[in-house]
Amino acid sequence: MEHFFEVKNNSPKKGQVMARYSAMAELVAGDDKLELIKIIKTSDFPLSIAQFVKQVLHSDELDSYRLPQRISEDLLSGMTEEEVMEKPYRYKIELFYYVEPQYIPDDPHWNTVALLNLDKFLSVN
């Protein structure tokens, strides 16, 4: 991954494009799921829950709301926290990188994102 630079921590360089990796994932028992359940049970702010899902679990926009909703529904339906921990939840992940086009894998999980005025942005910095 030496040619891939996370968008959230880097700025684009001349010749780079933004590449998006997306795939289906499962949230299974672990620290992240335990933390998500804790946040769902204690937070009155759906936006902060969605931000956690996006930032920590790398979900796409839609599943940043759907995933906590499904877990909440299970908890409200009478499932115990332990049962929810054991149940896998599918969701879509999305990761964005700056990369030179020749390094983007020829794979259906990868595509490029059009960046408008990138040359103008790079000439200012």
The pLDDT tens digits for 59-86 are 999 999 999 999 999 999 999 999 999 9
Residues 6+ apart with CB under 8 A from 92: 22, 23, 24, 25, 59, 60, 62, 63
The answer to whether the beta carbons of residues 91 and 36 sit under 8 Å apart is no
* CA-closest candidate to residue 73, choices 82, 84, 58, 85: 84
* CA-closest candidate to residue 17, choices 99, 124, 105: 99
Residue 55: per-residue pLDDT: 95
- Alpha-carbon gap, residue 19 to 51, rounded angstroms: 21
Mean pLDDT of 28-57: 95
- Count of C-beta atoms within a 10 Å radius of residue 112: 12
- The domain tally of the chain equals 1
Q: Which residues pair with 68 in a beta bridge?
A: none
Q: Which domain holds residue 81?
A: 5-124
